[in-house]
């Protein structure tokens, strides 16, 4: 796994502003890191229930599972059901709200989800690696959370 760990820090980075990227597989287990320039912001995994057999011969080949659907959820900025988007909203968006924006949110004129999406697209890039299955992805995610990268532990979800 040392090669996979290295790729999560030095491999190709893709901007959320350019989502979706054609290189992200539609069905894959894996791990991804999210960066603000050289700062490690977050690490996540996808495909917890995927086995090598499910990946090789999916029962619904057109339906995205794993990495693609997880990164798509993050790119949307919708906080419901997406812990990364909740963290971004809480730690980056809310602290920068102006009083008039707070009033507009309260009146239903301004959307925190849209502001979160904009923040993600304006500031963050991601790197990803595919793994054999969900259990390998989970183990790799835990290593990154514990500080396996030269960048240290992720800002939003350290172990």
- Please report the pLDDT score of residue 57 as a whole number: 74
- pLDDT average, residue stretch 132-145: 97
| DSSP state for residue 107 in the 8-state scheme | T
- Please report the pLDDT score of residue 95 as a whole number: 98
In DSSP terms, 127 is beta-bridged to 33
- Please report the pLDDT score of residue 24 as a whole number: 97
In DSSP terms, 32 is beta-bridged to 44, 128
Residue 58 confidence (pLDDT) above 90: no
Contact at 8 Å (CB) between 65 and 29?
Answer: no
- pLDDT average, residue stretch 147-158: 98
Cα–Cα distances in angstroms (integers) from residue 7 to residues 111, 123, 140, 149, in the given order: 35, 20, 12, 10
Contact at 8 Å (CB) between 127 and 8?
Answer: yes
The model's pTM is: 0.94
Round to whole Å and give the CA distance between 105 and 10: 39
Residue 61 confidence (pLDDT) above 70: no
Cα–Cα distances in angstroms (integers) from residue 75 to residues 16, 48, 102, 117, 140, in the given order: 6, 20, 23, 6, 22
């Amino acid at each position: 796994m040392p090669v996979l760990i290295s790729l999560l820090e030095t491999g190709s980075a893709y901007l959320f502003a350019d989502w979706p990227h054609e290189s992200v597989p539609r069905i894959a287990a894996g791990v991804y890191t999210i960066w603000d320039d050289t700062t490690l912001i977050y690490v996540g995994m996808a495909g917890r229930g995927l086995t090598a057999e499910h990946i090789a011969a999916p029962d619904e080949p057109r339906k995205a599972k794993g990495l693609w659907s997880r990164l798509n959820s993050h790119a949307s900025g919708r906080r419901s059901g997406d812990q990364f988007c909740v963290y971004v909203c809480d730690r980056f968006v809310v602290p920068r709200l102006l009083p008039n924006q707070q009033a507009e949110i309260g009146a239903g004129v301004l959307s925190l989800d849209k502001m979160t999406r904009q923040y993600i697209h304006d500031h963050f890039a991601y790197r990803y690696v595919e793994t054999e299955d969900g259990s390998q992805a989970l183990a790799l995610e835990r290593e990154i959370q514990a500080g396996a990268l030269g960048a240290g532990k992720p800002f939003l979800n350290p172990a």
